[in-house]
A = this chain, B = another copy of it.
Amino acid sequence: MPGNTWGQAFRVTTFGESHGEALGAIIDGCPPGIELTAAMIQRHLDRRKPGGRFTTPRQEDDQIEILSGVFEGVTTGTPIGLLIRNQDARSQDYAKIRDRFRPGHADYTYQHKHGIRDYRGGGRSSARETAMRVAAGAIAQQFLLQQGVSIRSAVEQIGDVKAQQSDWQQIDDNPFFFLDAAAVPEVEALLRTIKKAGDSIGAAIRFEVAGLPVGLGEPVFDRLDADVAKALMSINAVKAVEIGDGFAVANQRGSEHRDEMTPSGFLSNHSGGVLGGISSGQVLRGRLALKPTSSIGISGQTINLQGEPTEIVTKGRHDPCVGIRAVAIVDAMLALTLMDHWLRHRGQNADVDCQTPQI
């Protein structure tokens, strides 16, 4: 069984290599009647683009095309085809890595899994693949917003710089989607140092989803928190995921952790909005961590296709911190996961009023 499809009721299947002809996706199962234009999707794509939303010269890049499933500006319930052409597909020279495995990259594992790989820019394993996740996620966010669900995420740590406060309203105003405006200069200084050293740095992201109903999630395996963990861990470079209090629970007592209930609501949210794998109606919250990019200017030991020892240095542009651009991808994966569970839930429970008694 291949692995390029996300979701069961709201299914997203993607294709495309970093330096191939194009990236594309098919969204199957989208409900009919949702307003959708290329511009709506483009806004989300621009948030994950190299350099973020400030570098106008790049605005031409990653132009999304809607090829089907939308008629007169509205979804029809048939599959939605999406396409982005790779403009600079042939512009770079990757001959050096044709027969060498870059440490920390998937060159080695792809080669041995399939016996062949498109080595150009990492081929299918490149983070460029996530553009299609963001495009599909934009459709899901459009649906969820209509249901009163809002998703947000922000960078809360880069290296040893941690957010001391949460200024959610300003994360789109700083180039790092950083949660603490006061720490932005520190972040800039750190990244300048890292870049000068030709090195890279890791990061941590926090997310919150408000407005969820009670009842999303399909125990015992397709729990909402389990699928969120998979969704986030499937993003390039992610190595850890927490829901609610996360690892801190190892040193909590039951009397401290359990969220007591009153007619006016829960008294706390240690659980992070999930009980028994089903959304509780509280804010769904958690954290994830991303490793530093492995494409750095510092030489490293590796082997070649023949298994012989060699060295490699990754030339060319690269993000010193992949965590920054991941914010838009985290929003997208959360949206895809929640919308899929939304459709799954209502198919089985259409006759159930999952809202009362609401607290």
Contacts and interface: CB of A to CB of B under 8 A. Distances in A.
A257 B257 CA distance: 34
A316 interface: no
B234 A32 contact: no
A175 interface: no
Contacts of A203: 250
A177 to B, nearest CB: 15
A286 to B, nearest CB: 9
Of residues A254, A295, A305, which shows the largest number of chain B Cβ atoms within 10 Å of its Cβ?
A254
A229 interface: yes
A61 interface: no
A31 B116 contact: no
Contacts of A251: 157, 159-160, 201-202
A121 interface: no
Interface residues of A, number: 164
Interface stretch (A44-52, A103-111, A180-188): A103-111
A79 B2 contact: yes
Contact of A290 (B23, B249, B347): B249
A262 B217 CA distance: 45
Contacts of A331: none
A147 to B, nearest CB: 11
25 contacts: A1-B9, A2-B29, A2-B348, A3-B220, A15-B28, A17-B69, A17-B71, A24-B83, A33-B352, A76-B114, A78-B114, A109-B278, A113-B214, A115-B352, A203-B250, A229-B229, A229-B232, A239-B243, A242-B247, A246-B289, A254-B295, A258-B294, A263-B308, A346-B350, A350-B350
